[in-house]
Amino acid sequence: MSAQLYPLRNGLKEIEEKVIHSQRLSFEDGVTLFNSPELLEVGYLANIVRERKNGNNAYFINNRHINHTNICINRCRFCAFSKDKGEEGAYAMTIEDVLKSAREYGVDLTGSRRVSEFHIVGGLHPDLPFQYYLNMVGALHREYPDVHIQAFTAVEIEYLSRLAGLSIRDTLIEFRKAGLGSLPGGGAEIFAEGVRNKVCPEKISGEDWLNVHRIAHQIDMRSNATMLYGHIETIEDRVDHLIKLRGLQDDTGGFMSFIPLAFHPKNTELDSFSKTTGNLDLRVLAVSRLMLDNFPHIKAFWIMIGPKLAQISLSFGVDDIDGTVVEEKITHSAGAETGQSLSRDELVKMIKEAGRVPIERDTLYNSLNSSL
Ligand code: V47
Ligand code: SF4
């Protein structure tokens, strides 16, 4: 096949052959793509896969993030959101606070449309009982039976299972009975042990993170995956992370989307680091699209990379720009300069202007309205 548009340079020709013939890329290919000076060529290759998998569609969701507590016993070095109990600014919402917050934002900024997802993550609180989490999910589910609840990272699930004295499987089943729909992708950070021990020594291992998702998939619960980049990780660590996710997806097929998270250093223990660059943000998205050949979707979280770059990323492998969000605390504690919310109309405009077809989706990527 000779569908070549660019005269590809610097070792990318062989990768192009593989991409065109839908062959799996190797660890070395991943490293080559990260090292290539030709960002546009890497983007062009990612776009081939993006359009093969998702055509011209670009997804977004009308959602609401809720962070029920910032009190966390882990205190990861890259996290500006977490606090110790009793520290100034530490909070834990009651179930009523969570419901109030959901009620306030149960409609989008145009006032017309309910959110289709609550995205709930928080710290590992030292004293809140297991029942608090079950009650929170249950109360939201009773009040909003049609809204998908995507809640608790694998790190939280593992912690809550110990709190409850239940296996991971039984913990997930209990939450599903209460109304949990799927798991978000947070907490993955970087799987490589050396880096993980330095940036989040208290966190469960990469293997344990993958195991929670494996068990979720085994009981038919879908989930997402993330990777925190732009701190002390090497290119090899990133490629290793992607290949580990690809391996689990080969086994289970339970991941929906992959979301690279750009490290924001402000107010963290790693605040001497610079913010990520546009080149790196686009490259991580594009290489992820190329390496994760078995993931249906690659999502750019506009909150982290800004709406302008998120729009451009729609030509660099990305087919999803997440959502309305409404209020975001984790990245904004760490110096994010983006707004906290985009309206549905703004998301639609961004996508159309990029020459893509906007599809409002629910959490599981069912189309809610394809005629925007
Ligand atoms: O687990 C913490 C990361 C994650 C910082 O599943 C930071 O659809 C950047 O996982 N700079 C939570 N990142 C957010 C998350 C997420 C976001 C959007 C969509 C989905 C999804 C998941 O944020 C944490 C951690 O990896 N994080 N601190 C920081 N300073
Ligand atoms: Fe706690 Fe999550 Fe922040 Fe780590 S990233 S300190 S686990 S809230």
List CB contacts of 17: < 8 A, sequence separation 6 or more.
23
Say if ligand 2 is within 6 A of residue 212 CB.
Answer: no
Residue 24 lies in a domain: no
Non-local CB neighbours of 124 within 8 Å, separated by 6+ positions: 72, 73, 74, 155, 156, 159
Nearest CA to 148 among 60, 63, 253, 220? 63
As a residue count, the chain comes to: 372
User: Are 372 and 329 a contacting pair, CB within 8 Å?
Assistant: no
Q: Are 242 and 227 in contact, with CB atoms under 8 Å apart?
A: yes
User: Which protein residue's CA is at the shortest distance from atom 2 of ligand 1?
Assistant: 79
Can you tell me whether residue 174 is helix, strand or coil? Answer: helix
pLDDT at 113: 57
Per the structure, the count of domains in the chain is 1
Position 336 scores a pLDDT of 85
Ligand 2 centroid, distance to 116 Cα (angstroms): 26
How, if at all, do strands 357-361 and 367-369 pair?
antiparallel
Q: E strands, the chain, where? A: 57-61, 63-66, 117-120, 148-151, 180-182, 223-229, 255-262, 297-298, 320-323, 357-361, 367-369
In this structure, the residue with its CA closest to atom 6 of ligand 2 is 75
Q: Is the CB of 123 under 6 A from ligand 2?
A: yes
Strands across the sheet containing 297-298: 223-229, 255-262, 297-298
Angle of helix 27-35 relative to helix 12-20, nearest 10 degrees, comes to: 120
What pLDDT, on a 0 to 100 scale, did the predictor assign at position 232?
97
- Residue 165 has a pLDDT of 98
Look up residue 49 and give its DSSP letter. H
18 Cα distance to chain centroid: 27
Instruction: Supply the pLDDT for residue 221.
Output: 98
| Ligand 1 atom closest to 188 (CA) | 26
The reported pLDDT for the residue numbered 8 is 66
- What's the pLDDT at 105? 65
82 lines ligand 2 (CB under 6 A): yes
CATH number of the domain that 97 lies in?
3.20.20.70
Residue nearest to atom 7 of ligand 2 (CA): 74
Q: Is 40 inside any structural domain?
A: no
Given a cut of 50, the residues of the chain with pLDDT beneath it are 1-2, 108-111, 370-371
Cβ–ligand 2 distance for 80 under 6 Å, the answer no
Cβ-Cβ contacts under 8 Å for 78 (sequence gap 6 or more) = 189, 199, 200, 228, 231, 263, 265, 268, 269, 270, 334
pTM assigned to the model: 0.95
What is the structure's pLDDT at 212? 98
Of 198, 311, 313, 176, the C-alpha closest to 258 is 313
Q: Measured at the alpha carbon of residue 351, what is the angle toward residues 108 and 34, in degrees to the nearest 5?
A: 115
Ligand 2 centroid, distance to 151 Cα (angstroms): 15
Residue 197: how many CB atoms within 10 A of its CB? 12
Element (H, E) at 311: helix 307-313
Q: Cβ atoms within 10 A of the Cβ of 194, count? A: 12
Asked whether residue 343 is assigned to any structural domain, the reply reads yes
Full 3-state SS string of 260-300: EEECCCCCCCCCCCCCCCHHHHHHHHHHHHHHCCCCCEEEC
Phi/psi region, residue 179 (left: phi>0; alpha: psi -120 to 50; beta: rest), is left
Residue 135 is inside which H or E element, if any? helix 130-143
Query: Rounded to the nearest 5°, which phi and psi values hold at 265?
Result: -85, -20
Residue 93 inside a domain? The answer is: yes
Ligand that comes closest to the CA of residue 365: 1
Taking the chain, what is the end-to-end CA distance rounded to the nearest angstrom?
36
Atom of ligand 2 nearest to the CA of 73: 1
Nearest CA to ligand 1 atom 30: 264
- Which numbered atom of ligand 2 lies nearest the CA of 79? 3
186 within domain boundaries: yes
pLDDT in tens, 260-269: 999 999 999 9
Q: What are phi and psi of 298, to 5 degrees?
A: -120, 125
Q: Is residue 196 part of a domain?
A: yes
Distance 48 CA to ligand 1 centre (A): 27
**CA–CA separation, 62 and 116 (whole Å):** 6
Atom of ligand 1 nearest to the CA of 334: 30
Residue 87 lies in a domain: yes
Identify the domain containing residue 336 by its residue range.
Answer: 57-361
Q: Do the beta carbons of residue 226 and residue 188 sit within 8 Å?
A: yes
- 82: CA distance to ligand 2 center in Å? 6
Residue 183 forms part of a structural domain: yes
